[in-house]
Amino acid sequence: MTSRHFDIAIIGSGIAGGALAVALKDSGFSVLLLDRRAGPLDTARGDHIQPAMQPVLSRWGVLDRLMEAGAEQRAGTRWFDAEGTHIVTVPVPQRGDCAGAFLFLNHEKIGDILLATAEEAGVVNITGLSDWSLTRVTENWRVDWQADNQSASATCTLLVAADGTASTVRSRLKIGLDRHRYQYPIAVLYGRQQGVSHERTLDVYLAEERMVSLIPRTGGATKVGFPVSSEDISFWKTGSEEALLRRLAEWCPGIEFESLAFGAIYPPVSQQSEPYRGEGALVLVGEARHAMHPARSMGMNTCVRVADQLAASLGGLGSGFSEVEVLPSLSEFETRFEQELIPRLSENHAAGLQMDTITGGGFVALKKQLQLAAGDERVLDGMALKAAGLMV
């Protein structure tokens, strides 16, 4: 590996890095993936694929592999009030430009399939880095690393930072960042509901105190997510199953679980980095560029969208492109990012602020909006398009 040159090196092989590697697999570019991680991806991260993103994954040759791995379909999103009364169901649009349902599959399986697809196409994937460094050389980047007690290095023309919320690349290059830390962390529980319908839906309860989401998992399981105070974290981590079930029953009337266990606590954050404006060809993607609140399950889908758009911007180049040749493509990509994705990120942040409370008071204003949507087909169609990942 020492001294080998790649057209593109991607730092970070999570969903964003893996998606970009797959999006580029037929481009003819030589691609290197590097990651400190040696184990599977985090199991509690996003695992639902929007209808609008499924044609993209099909074009990449990934969709069938997700289905073979056990991906399941779900219908739209149902909203309930604090008494457990159904308010509205936001359906999935039935259109030719998107799938007719959401897909869900465990996050780590999605990541594994992306990486396996990329590797089969010739992408070089190296994980378990114990240390790495980045330097500029003539019209290129040089990456040096250690893995398995061995040192190696490579150069690349285009460097892509896909190394997460606390991006080392962003930090080392002193790229500006606008960050909002939400007040309340999100607790994640895993369980199995009684009487789950064959047609799964994502169910959101506007409990008196907080918003509680019941998110389908494969095999009939359910992931439960909700904001908690720091004082309440110990209860969710150490409380008995009976205590957890009793508390959840207060928030979601009529819902019964066969089993329920604590999963994790996540401090959600919304952040956007500035585009790289220094010397050399470099671009940030995924959470290195834009971290999102999990309120609307947009994070993973946005990574897929961004990967597809970046690959399209690079599509006019051939293998062996120079730094001078790739810079206009990156400028085109950043322009499109500003036009299409910044509004989506702002919408997600607004949803995150709406969820960031443990004194919601029944969410009176939101409940009224949902009741109005239930009686207005045009408004409901707009909500359905947004949830599916389509432009309104």
Q: Which domain CATH number covers 344?
A: 3.50.50.60
Place 39 in a pLDDT band, splitting at 50, 70 and 90.
Answer: low
Are 287 and 263 found together in one domain? Answer: no
Neighbouring C-beta atoms of residue 89, cutoff 10 Å: 15
Within a domain: residue 216? yes
Residue 207 has pLDDT above 50, yes or no: yes
Q: Are residues 31 and 89 in the same domain?
A: no
Domain check: are 201 and 342 in the same one?
no
Whole-angstrom distance, CA of residue 127 vs CA of residue 119: 13
pLDDT in tens, 114-166: 999 999 999 999 999 999 999 999 999 999 999 888 899 999 999 999 999 99
65 in any annotated domain = no
Q: What is the CATH number of the domain that holds 243?
A: 3.30.9.10
Q: How wide is the angle at C-alpha 291 spanned by C-alphas 288 and 294, nearest 5°?
A: 150
Task: Convert the pLDDT of each residue in 224-272 to its tens digit.
Answer: 999 999 999 999 999 999 999 999 999 999 999 999 999 999 999 999 9
Are residues 193 and 249 located together in one domain of the fold? yes
**pLDDT reported for residue 61:** 96
Tokens of 78: 């149902």
Q: Are 173 and 277 contained in the same domain?
A: yes
pLDDT exceeds 60 at position 392: no
Write down the pTM of the prediction.
0.94
Other Cβ atoms less than 10 A from the Cβ of 354: the count is: 15
Q: Do 198 and 245 belong together in one domain? A: yes
- Inform me whether the pLDDT recorded for 29 exceeds 80: yes
**Residue 391 banded pLDDT, cuts 50, 70, 90:** confident
As for how many domains the chain has, the answer is 2
| Residue 102 half-sphere exposure toward CB, CA atoms < 13 A | 32
Q: 367 pLDDT exceeds 80?
A: yes
Q: Are residues 285 and 321 in the same domain?
A: yes
Residue 1: pLDDT band (50, 70, 90) is very low
pLDDT given for residue 43 in this prediction? 57
Mean pLDDT, residues 354-383? 96
Q: Are residues 28 and 114 in the same domain?
A: yes
Q: Are residues 97 and 113 in the same domain?
A: no
Same domain, 378 and 234: yes
Residue 76 has pLDDT above 90, yes or no: yes
Q: What is the DSSP letter of 173?
A: T
Spatial distance between the Cα atoms of 225 and 229, rounded to a whole number of angstroms: 13
The answer to whether residue 61 sits within a structural domain is no
**What percentage of the chain reaches a pLDDT higher than 70?**
97
Domain with 295 in it: 4-42+107-181+269-355
Cβ 56 vs Cβ 304: under 8 Å: yes
Q: Do both 19 and 114 map to the same domain?
A: yes
- Residue indicated by tokens 């994790």: 264
